[in-house]
């Protein structure tokens, strides 16, 4: 338990156990080594394509989700020009800007101040966000478990775990299974595409860590824990700016925890209400502002109406969550029966809230799935330690290491598939990852002869390079 003293922790370590009440230095070294390895792996196809080159073709500099990648660079370009209010530069319609996705104008301002290319800052942001996410995932594991091995199991499943989408592609061709097309739901995959997905997962992990700690029975009256409500408020505000949909399931889960706690006690505990308000209130002004923007700004209203991200059916989620979901079923059943406050309750309510939010009649259903692997990994880890591992011998337990490769197959598949056109010498394959060098020359010609008031009419594939990549990639 986190309230154990450092002295008792040292005594346990001295007799050779693998239990610790805090995160020891050797654990953080392990996390950083594994995190850096995953970051390097993430960049392998990008570096390979960049070093190999594509003669006659210009590389955009982003491999995964390049359509959105171009819009991130466009927002960064606004920031590099001193702007903070975001405008959609891929439309000829004049419109007022709005303070949304402020992370990318911030990165653009940072790039300008440092004199660095936008692409360099974008990818550096991905590196930092990924390492912060991995550290936050391990912090969440350490909040829940004292056993170092259990912490590492959770970290591994949460970081790289995914489902069976990779196995269905050869059989069924194109199939919309979550682990192949919803990157925000899977931490390792989230690092492929942008900066704000891994940062969102990091903030969620830290926020849930605080909530588990705050509602743990043993620390119900610990003033040191209760004084951390402002940290929860800060994380809530950060999530509202980074990814507002992420707060809906976790906020609903916290509300249900407070309600359940109040029913058990037959009264509303002031400290429970404090924690609920600490999470809910900071996000409300941001939510109201977003609502006003999409109601009063016609261009943003059209963007919001076209922003359709519908959730796949339940059966697709079962396939997409794969082995981690199947492993966790016994612990999920146990949590439904007992609803223990030490982790089970918040994780169970969070998982339920994610699925409920995804199937509400909104146009952003799948956005509510961000961070779903955290409760899934929690239940998978509990079931592994309490149910599955005790059933098999130690020799067979070692074979489970190969399961890490199996649960990571979809992320590995997604990591390398966008680089295939360059690998097989076909950069002219459909898509806009590579631009014909003649177009690139024409865009360079336009770049020095146009200003922000000019409109360029271009084909769909070519236009995605304008205006963000025109400045950042050419």
Secondary structure of 206-227 in HEC code, one letter for each residue:
HHHHHHHHHCCHHHCCCHHHHC
Measuring CA to CA, how many Å separate 219 from each of 142, 166, 214, 253, 295? 16, 44, 7, 20, 44
Measured CA to CA, the distance from residue 331 to residue 354 in angstroms comes to: 18
Measured CA to CA, the distance from residue 357 to residue 354 in angstroms comes to: 5
Predicted pLDDT of residue 65: 85
Residues 6+ away with beta carbon under 8 Å from 203: 136, 235, 238, 239, 242, 246
- Token pair in block for residue 142: 């350490």
Q: What is the pLDDT of residues 64-115, one digit of tens each?
A: 888 888 899 999 999 999 999 999 888 888 888 999 999 999 999 999 999 9
Measure CA of the first residue to CA of the last residue in the chain; give whole Å. Answer: 54
Predicted pLDDT of residue 349: 96
Write down the domain spans for the chain.
23-59+117-429
Predicted pLDDT of residue 6: 35
User: DSSP letters along 242-278, please?
Assistant: H-GGGHHHHHHHHHHHHHHHHHHHTS--HHHHHHHHH
Measured CA to CA, the distance from residue 182 to residue 236 in angstroms comes to: 23
Q: Is 175 helix (H, G, I), strand (E, B) or coil?
A: coil
- What is the β-pairing status of strands 434-436 and 57-59? antiparallel
Q: What is the pLDDT of residues 39-62, one digit of tens each?
A: 999 999 999 888 877 778 888 888
Predicted pLDDT of residue 209: 95
Measured CA to CA, the distance from residue 39 to residue 33 in angstroms comes to: 10
Predicted pLDDT of residue 401: 63
Residues of the chain with pLDDT under 70: 1-21, 170, 172-175, 218-221, 395, 397-403, 429-432, 468-474
Name 468's bridge partners. none
Nearest to 234 by CA among 288, 196, 283, 270: 283
Nearest to 185 by CA among 317, 39, 373: 373
Nearest to 194 by CA among 106, 71, 111, 321: 71
Predicted pLDDT of residue 17: 41
Measured CA to CA, the distance from residue 390 to residue 348 in angstroms comes to: 24
> How big is the chain, counted in residues?
474
């Amino acid at each position: 338990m986190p309230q154990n003293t450092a002295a008792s922790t040292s005594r346990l370590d001295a007799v050779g156990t693998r239990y610790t009440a805090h995160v020891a230095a050797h654990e953080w070294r392990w996390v950083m080594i594994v995190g850096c390895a995953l970051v390097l792996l993430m960049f392998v196809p990008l570096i390979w394509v960049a070093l190999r080159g594509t003669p006659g073709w210009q590389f955009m500099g982003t491999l995964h989700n390049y359509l959105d990648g171009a819009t991130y660079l466009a927002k960064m370009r606004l920031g590099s020009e001193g702007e903070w209010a975001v405008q959609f530069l891929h439309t000829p319609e004049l419109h007022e800007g709005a303070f949304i996705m402020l992370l990318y104008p911030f990165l653009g301002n940072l790039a300008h101040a440092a004199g660095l290319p936008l692409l360099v800052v974008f990818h550096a942001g991905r590196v930092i966000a990924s390492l912060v996410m991995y550290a936050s995932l391990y912090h969440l594991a350490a909040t829940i478990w004292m056993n170092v091995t259990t912490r590492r199991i959770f970290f591994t499943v949460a970081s790289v775990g995914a489902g069976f989408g990779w196995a269905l592609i050869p059989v069924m061709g194109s199939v919309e299974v979550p682990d192949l097309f919803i990157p925000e739901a899977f931490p390792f995959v989230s690092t492929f595409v942008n900066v704000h997905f891994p940062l969102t997962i990091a903030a969620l992990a830290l926020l849930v860590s605080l909530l588990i700690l705050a509602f743990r029975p043993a620390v119900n009256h610990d003033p040191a824990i209760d004084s951390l409500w402002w940290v929860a408020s800060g994380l809530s505000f950060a999530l509202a700016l980074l990814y507002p949909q992420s707060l809906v399931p976790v906020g609903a889960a916290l509300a249900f925890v407070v309600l359940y706690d109040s029913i058990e006690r037959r009264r509303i505990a002031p400290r429970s209400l404090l924690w609920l308000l600490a999470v809910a209130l900071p996000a409300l002004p941001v939510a109201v502002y977003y609502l006003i923007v999409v109601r009063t700004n016609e261009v943003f209203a059209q963007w919001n109406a076209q922003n359709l991200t519908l959730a796949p059916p339940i059966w697709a989620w079962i396939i997409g969550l794969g082995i981690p979901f199947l492993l966790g079923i016994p612990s999920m059943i146990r949590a439904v029966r007992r609803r223990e406050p030490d982790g089970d309750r918040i994780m169970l309510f969070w998982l339920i809230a994610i699925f409920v939010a995804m199937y509400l009649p909104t146009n952003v259903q799948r956005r509510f799935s961000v961070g779903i692997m955290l409760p899934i990994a929690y239940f998978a880890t509990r079931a592994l330690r309490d149910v599955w591992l005790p059933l098999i011998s130690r020799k067979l337990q070692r074979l489970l290491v190969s399961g890490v490769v199996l649960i990571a197959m979809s992320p590995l598949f997604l990591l390398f598939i966008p680089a295939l056109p360059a690998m097989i010498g076909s950069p002219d394959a459909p898509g806009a990852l590579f631009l014909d060098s003649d177009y690139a020359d024409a865009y360079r010609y336009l770049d020095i002869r146009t200003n922000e008031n000019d409109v360029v009419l271009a084909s769909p594939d070519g236009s995605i390079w304008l205006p963000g990549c025109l400045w950042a990639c050419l």
